[in-house]
Amino acid sequence: TVGGTMTAVSVTDHRDPIIQLGKEVNLTAADYGSVEIRCRWSHDGTGADSISIYFTTDTESSMSENLSIKIPLSSTDSAGEWETITVDLTGHEYWKGIIKELRFDAFNAVGTMEIDYLRFLPKED
């Protein structure tokens, strides 16, 4: 598992908040088969929306929609409850090489996002 304990609270008054997670992450994508986040949230969007994690690699230096992981939220409000969401990365076409940079984008709405942790989990044999 790559990650650690990180508690972050984002309260935003605009619709595209981001958290830059580093420019020299150096994860070998082939070693990690999923990403897991434990979070709770509330936002004013019209639908459940999703969290996006954008990344660059050693061969793709610009972030784009192709180089992103979408983590679907179940609703506009987790009602104060923590939810753990896991997304499989093994079929992601661009999850390869060395992951160099990560950027976390919460929903595209005004609201609050609390993150207990975000971690990349090793592939299972």
Say whether pLDDT at 115 is over 50.
yes
Distance of CA 18 to the CA centre of its chain: 10
- Class of residue 85 by CB neighbours under 10 A (exposed 0-12, middle 13-18, buried 19+): middle
Read off the pLDDT of residues 32-71 as tens digits, 9 standing for 90 and up. Answer: 999 999 999 988 888 888 989 999 999 999 999 999 999 9
Beta strands in the chain (DSSP E): 8-12, 18-22, 27-28, 32-43, 50-57, 68-72, 83-88, 98-105, 111-122
pLDDT of residue 22: 63
Question: For 65, how many CA atoms within 13 A lie in the half-sphere containing its CB?
Answer: 0
Over the chain, what is the mean pLDDT?
Answer: 84
Average pLDDT rounded to a whole number, residues 101-117: 85
Strand-pair partners of 101:
56
Cα–Cα distance list, 92 to 30, 57, 66, 86, 89 (Å): 11, 13, 9, 14, 5
Say whether pLDDT at 15 is over 60: no
Over range 76-89, report the average pLDDT. 96
